[in-house]
Each structure stands twice: as structure tokens, then as C-alpha cells.
């Protein structure tokens, strides 16, 4: 991350003025970087995480820094939890302007050893949960009739930044590209955009503690611009989630430190 990337953003950057943006998995890792930049720019950030303790702590930290933030407990693997958490946000803050589906599981299994149970566990969070929360949020956005933004966090695994064990994970992230395309088409009439960030390797707790075979493979190549930080992913997400990005939909953007040119 360059010095400029770490500079605190001005309130009102990219046209934000208190718009409510839900960020899943914002209790730690990449979600923290996304929540930070959105809050700095002037969004009202809803830190949504399965860990209510981490979610509350992040929202408190943002508010203590003078930003607008709240938290909600959500398990994106559980439809009832998604519906309840989303309704809770709407009751307190109104329909969301934006949704960032960032919560994810990074565990790996070799295809030759992979199980249906692991497929179901990873996809419940990485793809099914994204679909369900997109449905809830876009229903509220359509009813509010103000437009809206959906940004999903996929992976540079989709452009070849693979390690052994990525079969189920890459498939769960590839599902987000199909979801994006079809939803962007259906929601364009409501001025709601849907875009995807393909994040490169970021040293987060989830990446460091991920289970699976030794992570050998093309993803071990060093990106020419260096490893990304959560804030780097956040800065790209910020624009896609912003009021100014109204003409940009159905785009998958790799934020991978230039890995793809190696």
C-alpha cells in the first residue's frame, strides 16, 4: 500500500453522505479495510459478522473515530439469520443503499479428497449466503426506489492465482460472477448496480489460519506491486459502492497487486 492509499479520506468522498452500507465479515480481515474507507468517506457502515463481539468492537472503533457505524450479528450460512439481520438493519436505519458481500471461508481441499460436505459448507457462506443477502437487500432497495450498489468479494483465483486445494473455493467464487451478471441485468431498471472484486492475496487471519494442503501453486508468485492490504481492497470497493459509480455494473475487477501480468 502506498502512502497515498493510507491517507484518511475526506468526508463526502465519492459523493457519500450517510448512506447505509452493510459489510458482511467486517469484524476482521479484508472487511475491516472495506468498513474503514466507507466510514471515512461518510457512509453509515453496518458491520455485519457471525461474531457479534468482533462486529460490536469494529463499529465502536469507527464511532470513536467520529464515523457513522452500527453492528449486526449475522450468519450468512443461515437463511433465517440473514432475513432477521437484514430486517433489523432496515428497522433501525431504513433500506440499505449498499451491500458488500465480503464474508467468506478460505479453506482448501484437493479435488481427489474433496467431499460433498465441504462443498456445502464453503458454498453455504461463499455463494448461497451472497445470493440470499442480495435478495433481501435488493428487495428493500427496489422498494426505497433510490437506486443502490451491490459489491461482492470474489478472488483472483478466478484469473489463475491458484494454490492446491482451490477447487471448491474457486467454484464458490465463480458463482459470484454468474450472480453478478444476472442480477445486474434484472436490477438495472431500478438503478441498482452489481459488481465484483477479485481480490488477490491479503495476509488476513482467515488466509493465515486457512485449512488445507500446503498452498503451493501460481498464487505463490509475488505480485509486482506487492501484496494487497485490506485497505487496498476497500478503496476499490469504495468507488463501486459509491453514489458516483452509477454507470458501472456487471464488472469483475481484479485488485491483486498486478499478479495477472506475471
Q: Which residues bind ligand NAD (CB under 6 A)?
A: 24-25, 27-31, 49-51, 54, 74-77, 102-104, 106, 125, 153, 155, 199, 201-202, 204-207
Give min distance, CB of 92 to ligand NAD, in A: 19
Q: Which residue has the cell 491479503?
A: 202
Spatial contact of 101 and 152, defined as CB atoms under 8 Å apart: yes
Task: Out of 14, 16, 97, 169, pick the active-site residue.
Answer: 169
Angle 152-154-12 (CA atoms, 0-180°, nearest 5)?
40
Q: Which is nearer to ligand NAD, 22 or 106 (CB)?
A: 106
Q: Which is nearer to ligand NAD, 51 or 88 (CB)?
A: 51
Cα(251)–Cα(104) distance, integer angstroms: 20
Q: What is the DSSP string of 58-105?
A: HHHHHHHTT-EEEEEE--TT-HHHHHHHHHHHHHHH-S-SEEEE----
Give min distance, CB of 237 to ligand NAD, in A: 10
Dihedral class, residue 212 (left if φ above 0, else alpha if ψ from -120 to 50, else beta): left
Q: Which is nearer to ligand NAD, 163 or 249 (CB)?
A: 163
Q: Residue 146 class from Cβ within 10 Å (0-12 exposed, 13-18 middle, 19+ buried)? A: middle
Spatial contact of 42 and 238, defined as CB atoms under 8 Å apart: no
Give min distance, CB of 249 to ligand NAD, in A: 20
Give min distance, CB of 90 to ligand NAD, in A: 18
Clarify whether 169 is annotated catalytic.
Answer: yes
Q: Which is nearer to ligand NAD, 51 or 250 (CB)?
A: 51
Residues annotated as catalytic are 169
Amino acid at each position: 500500500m502506498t502512502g497515498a492509499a493510507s491517507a484518511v479520506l475526506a468526508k463526502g468522498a465519492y459523493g457519500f453522505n450517510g448512506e447505509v452500507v452493510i459489510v458482511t465479515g467486517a469484524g476482521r480481515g479484508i472487511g475491516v479495510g472495506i468498513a474503514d474507507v466507507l466510514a471515512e468517506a461518510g457512509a453509515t457502515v453496518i458491520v455485519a459478522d457471525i461474531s457479534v463481539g468482533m462486529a460490536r468492537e469494529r463499529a465502536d472503533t469507527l464511532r470513536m473515530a467520529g464515523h457513522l457505524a452500527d453492528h449486526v450479528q449475522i450468519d450468512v450460512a443461515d437463511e433465517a439469520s440473514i432475513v432477521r439481520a437484514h430486517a433489523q438493519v432496515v428497522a433501525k436505519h431504513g433500506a440499505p443503499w449498499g451491500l458488500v458481500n465480503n464474508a467468506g471461508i478460505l479453506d482448501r481441499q484437493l479435488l481427489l479428497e474433496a467431499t460433498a460436505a465441504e462443498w456445502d459448507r464453503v458454498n453455504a457462506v461463499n455463494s448461497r449466503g451472497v445470493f440470499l443477502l442480495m435478495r433481501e437487500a435488493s428487495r428493500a432497495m427496489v422498494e426505497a426506489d433510490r437506486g443502490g450498489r451491490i459489491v461482492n468479494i470474489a478472488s483472483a483465483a478466478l484469473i489463475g492465482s491458484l494454490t492446491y486445494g482451490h477447487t471448491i473455493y474457486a467454484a464458490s467464487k465463480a458463482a459470484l460472477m454468474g450472480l453478478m451478471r444476472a442480477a445486474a441485468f434484472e436490477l438495472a431498471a431500478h438503478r441498482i448496480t452489481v459488481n465484483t472484486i477479485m481480490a488477490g492475496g491479503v495476509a488476513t487471519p482467515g488466509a493465515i489460519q486457512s485449512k488445507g494442503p500446503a498452498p503451493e501453486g501460481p498464487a505463490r508468485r509475488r505480485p509486482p506491486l506487492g501484496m494487497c492490504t485490506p485497505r487496498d481492497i476497500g478503496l476499490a470497493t469504495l468507488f463501486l459502492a459509491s453514489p458516483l459509480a452509477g454507470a458501472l455494473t456487471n464488472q469483475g475487477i481484479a485488485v491483486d497487486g498486478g499478479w495477472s501480468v506475471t
